[in-house]
Amino acid sequence: MSSASFTKSSLVNIQTKSALASQSLIYHKKDLIRANVTLDSGIHLLEQLPPDSQPSESVLDVIYNCCKGQDTPPYDESIIPFKYVINAEPIALTETDSEDDEQCHLVEVTYALPFKDKERDLRISKVKLEIENKNDLPPSIPKFILSSAYNNSITRPSVLVLINPHGGKGQAKSIYKKEILPVLQAAKVKITYVETQFHGHATQVARDLDVDLYDIIVCCSGDGIPHEVINGFYSRPDKGVLAFNKVAVTQLPCGSGNALSLSTHGTGNASVATFQMLKAHRAKMDLMAVTQGTGPTKTTKLSFLSQCYGVIADSDIGTEHLRWMGPIRFEIGVAQKVFFGATYPCDLYVKYKIDNKAEIINHVNDYLTNQSSDGKNLPEVTEENLRVLGPDLSQPVPQDWTRIPDHLAHNLNILYVGNMPYVSADAQFFPAALPSDGAMDMILTDSTSSAFKTASILMAVEKGTHIDDERVHHSKVSSYRLIPNVRDHGRHFISIDGENFPFEAFQVEVLPGVLTGLLQDGNFVETSVTK
């Protein structure tokens, strides 16, 4: 073949490919929406979104709105705020384009439709954009959008999903598949999935974990798996120093108790909680060291949520055999104990940090005013931070501890000590709790009040106003020791993070700022005290 014929044939081929590429570009540009990206607020659409680009409301949404007497909250469809952006990546329109093109101004954005009600399922949409003001932006527009969307958060984190398949009345796997996984996949999260096989399995996983592989451990469960993970870290040779510094521990609601998710992500809806988790900041949170036994039988476990003794513990752990009834089992247990005037005498010693309700409010306000967390440069945890400093249970308490008077301790019906505001969706038991103030919130009530008055206190827990009642003793403490004086030990319980612990003396102290968690702007969700 002559060079002339070769050149002519090549030219025909080149022209044909060029025409096809142009046709492909014209075809795909029909799907593009012109937009401008601002440096601070979000993506401004210069054209109206096509009707089929927005996910329609489900039948359940319509029923939900009718029952609550409201419509879907209106929002401005001409802007996609950065805070709702889940993912952004370049679009390759032709075979010759690269999806990794740093200069690409054609971007596909995945985002959550704005929402106000955190208990409704998250709705996710996608839109393909042609960015008009590309010359005003950094070279990589998708990376800029992502960095703005995840300001101070982790973009496309590597997560270890630990799921209790028996959680949530056996619905945990279904909740994960239908509500959690789609959000994680939309955000291009790197997922390692593990189902726990037995009680304590998550402890083993956390103890043996290569922490360099993960940014977050996501506990798709109730409160049991986070408790196991934290104690798995603590059982490592270095007491968990490396793990507590490197890996954030969080929860997505898949169980009957979802206190960590409610307190940090503000919802019991798994899809919304997943979105909130992705947008949250790394922040330091206090843990509590719970010690029982002396000498060779001495054990110390970590608690992230609460310890309880009395009516609450017996109504929780004591009704485990009725778990099939759902949350009502607990309410029935409480009603029974309160009606019959159950009393749980004990000896109680406390090291107070604040023992005045007005001062507690001032403390909370000062903390919120002065505290700030951008998720970066968090203080390093050392072995010293994990050292338990309290005396042995066989030794007397220090002189700066206070013995609770017998008229209260010997008539006690509720002792509840916690580190997070919500213990369940309808129980704001510790509304003054703070992530890292070096204190536990202690709530005490006694049986000298009538059953009606005690019931009225418990009914106020939903709104967090029970702490205002003069019959409720509310304080912030750094350490305490409780010695049960109940006669029939076999019928009563001590609950630590919802787990059944031996019914014997125990001592607790705060370990400040040990756990790395994920918080909205560095704080717990709003409560009756913090709003």
Give long-range contacts, CB 8 A cutoff, 24+ apart: 377-385: 378/245, 378/282, 378/283, 378/284, 378/516, 379/284, 379/513, 380/245, 381/241, 381/244, 381/245, 381/513, 381/514, 382/241, 383/238, 383/239, 383/241, 385/511, 385/512, 385/513, 385/514
Active site residue 223: yes
Are the C-beta atoms of residues 196 and 161 closer than 8 Å to each other? no
Residue type, 467: I
Q: How far is CA 498 from CA 256, 259, 309, 362, in A?
A: 11, 10, 11, 30
Q: What is the C-alpha to C-alpha distance for residues 244 and 211, in angstroms, rounded to an integer?
A: 9
Secondary structure element (H or E) that encloses residue 308, with its range: strand 306-310
Closest CA to 140 of 98, 74, 175, 89: 89
Closest CA to 303 of 247, 251, 241, 227: 227
Tokens 């798994």 belong to residue? 270
Tokens of 65: 């709105």
Sheet containing 106-112: give its strands across.
79-81, 42-45, 33-37, 124-131, 106-112, 85-90
Q: How far is CA 448 from CA 4, 139, 427, 443, in A?
A: 108, 71, 23, 16
Quick count: other Cβ atoms within 10 Å of Cβ 143?
15
Selected catalytic residue, list 101, 208, 215, 223: 223
Quick count: other Cβ atoms within 10 Å of Cβ 242?
16
Would you name the residues annotated as active-site residues? Answer: 223
